[in-house]
Amino acid sequence: MKLLLIPFLMSLSFVNFAEESKNVPDNISSLQQLLEQVKSDGLKESNVSLQREALFKKSLDSQLKLKNETRIKLNRIRKESERLKKTFDSNETSLSDLESELRKRLGNLGEMFGVVRQISQDVSSIRYHSLIANEIGAESEILEQLSNSKALPTITELEDMWYEIQLHMTKQGENKSYKTSFLNLQGVTEESEIHHIGPFVAFNSKGYLSYEADSQALFQLGEQSSNIDIIESYLNGVDEFNEITMDLTRGTLLNLNSQSPGLLDRVKQGGTIGYIIIILAALGILYGAYLLFEKVNTQLKINKQLRDFEKPSENNPLGRVLLSYNKESTESDLETLEMKLDEAVLRELPHLEKGLSIIKLLAAVAPLLGLLGTVTGMIATFQSITLFGTGDPKLMAGGISQALVTTVLGLVGAIPLLFMHNILNSRSKSMIQILDQQSAGIVAEHIQKGR
C-alpha cells in the first residue's frame, strides 16, 4: 500500500511545481535569479510601506491640528453662548420688572383703555348694521381706530369717541324724513323721500323698506305687511299724533314677512290632490323602510347561515333550503332531489319579493296624480279667465299654483319611492341569487359524494 502512495505523491508534487512555474516571469531561468527577484520585490514593497506610513503621519498631524482648532473654536462658542444666556436672563428679569412697574403705574388707566376699546367695538358694530347708517354712514374713523388701537387713547380721541356715540344716540331718537336712493322691486335705483323712525323702521310712499348692511343700501320689500295702508294715512296725516307700525327687531320681522311662502303654504296650494300624493308617498316610504329593515335582517341571517352550513335553521331562507335537502338527500334520487331543492327555493321567492310591486305601483301613481292635479288646476285657471278675463292675475293664481304644486309633489313623491324600490329589488335579487347558487352547489356536492 505504501509503495502505491509514493508514486501518487510524486505526481502531485510535479503538478504543483508545474503550476507554480507558470507564475514565474519569463526572464527568470535559475533559482539565484528568482531569489534576487524576490529580494528586489521585497525592497519595493518596503519603500511603498514607508511612503504610506509617512503620508499617514502627515495626515494625522493635519487632523490633530484641525481637531485642536475646532476644540478652541467650540470653547469660544460655549463661552459666548453662556454670556448671551446670562444677558438674556438679565433682560428677562429687567423686562419682568418693567412690566410690573408699568402695570402699577397704569392702574385705572389700563382698565379705562379696555373699556374704551370694548365700547368702540360695540358701537361700531351696532352702527354698521343699523338703519341709521344710511344717513350718517356705516363706519366711523375714530371708532375703528380706537377698536384696533393698542395704545392709551388721548384726550382728543376720547372726545371724538364721545361725539360719535352721542351722534348715534341722537339719530336713534329722531323721527325724520330725508331724500335718498333705494332699490325698487325691479332692482332699479330710485330716489325719493324716505321716512324713518329711529333705527326701527323706514318707509316711503311705496311701502316698507329694509336696510342691507353689506351693500349699505335700502331696498323695497317684496311682501309688504298686512297693515300697509296706515303708511298712507301717516304720510298724509295732519294730526299731532299718527299711527304707524314699528318693527322693534329693527327690520327682522319685516324681512321674514317679505319672504316667499313656506312649505305648508305650498302644500296648501296643491289642494286635495296634493294631500293625497303626500299621504301615498309617506305610506310608501314607511312601508319601504319596513321592508328594507326586514330584508336587511333576512340578509344578516343568511350570512350567518353561510358561515355555519352544518346547523341549518328555520329562521332564514337558506336554512330552510338546507333542511329540505337534509330531509330528501337520503330518500330521493338525484332528479327528485333537484326538483325538491327548486321547490324549496321557489317557496322562498314570495317572501323575498314581498312588497316590491306595491312600492313600484306607488312610484308610478304619484306622478300620475301630479298630472291629474295639473290638469284640474289648469281647468280652474281657464274657468277664471272665462269668468273674469285676464285683467287680474290674482284670480288665476290659485289654479296655476295647484297645477304646478301638484306636479312637484308627484315628482317629489315618486323619486324616493323609485330609489326605495331599486334598493329593495337589488337586495331581493342578491338573496335569491345566493339561494340559487347554494342549491346548485348542494346538488354538485351530492353528485360528487355519490361518485
Q: What is the pLDDT of residues 148-203, one digit of tens each?
A: 877 778 888 888 888 888 888 888 777 777 788 777 767 777 787 777 777 777 77
Q: Name the pTM for this structure.
A: 0.44
The closest alpha carbon to 252, from 215, 197, 211, 218, belongs to: 211
In sequence order, the 6+-apart residues with CB closer than 8 A to the CB of 165 are 119, 123
Q: Kindly state the cell numbers that stand for 82.
A: 453662556
- Grid look-up 286635495 returns 272
What is the pLDDT at residue 29?
63
CA–CA gap between residue 404 and residue 392 (Å, rounded): 19
Q: Kindly list the distances between the CA atom of residue 196 and the CA atoms of 207, 254, 397, in Å, as whole numbers in the listed order.
A: 12, 14, 34
Nearest 5 degrees, angle CA 20-CA 21-CA 24? Answer: 100
Neighbours of 147 (CB within 10 A): 18
Q: How many CB atoms lie within 10 A of CB 230?
A: 14
How far apart CA 122 and CA 124 sit, in angstroms, is 5
Percentage of residues in the chain with pLDDT exceeding 90? Answer: 6
CA angle at residue 423 from 421 to 429, to 5 degrees?
A: 95
**Alpha carbon 413 to chain centroid distance?**
28
3-class SS at 224? coil
- Is residue 424 within 8 A of residue 294, CB to CB? The reply is no
What is residue 397's predicted lDDT score, i.e. its pLDDT? 66
Q: What digits encode the pLDDT tens for the residues 330-384?
A: 666 677 777 777 777 788 888 888 888 899 999 999 999 988 888 888 887 777 7
Contact 355, 287 (CB under 8 A): yes
Residue ranges with strand state E in 313-423: none
**Sequence spans of domains, the chain:** 51-103, 107-172, 174-258, 271-450
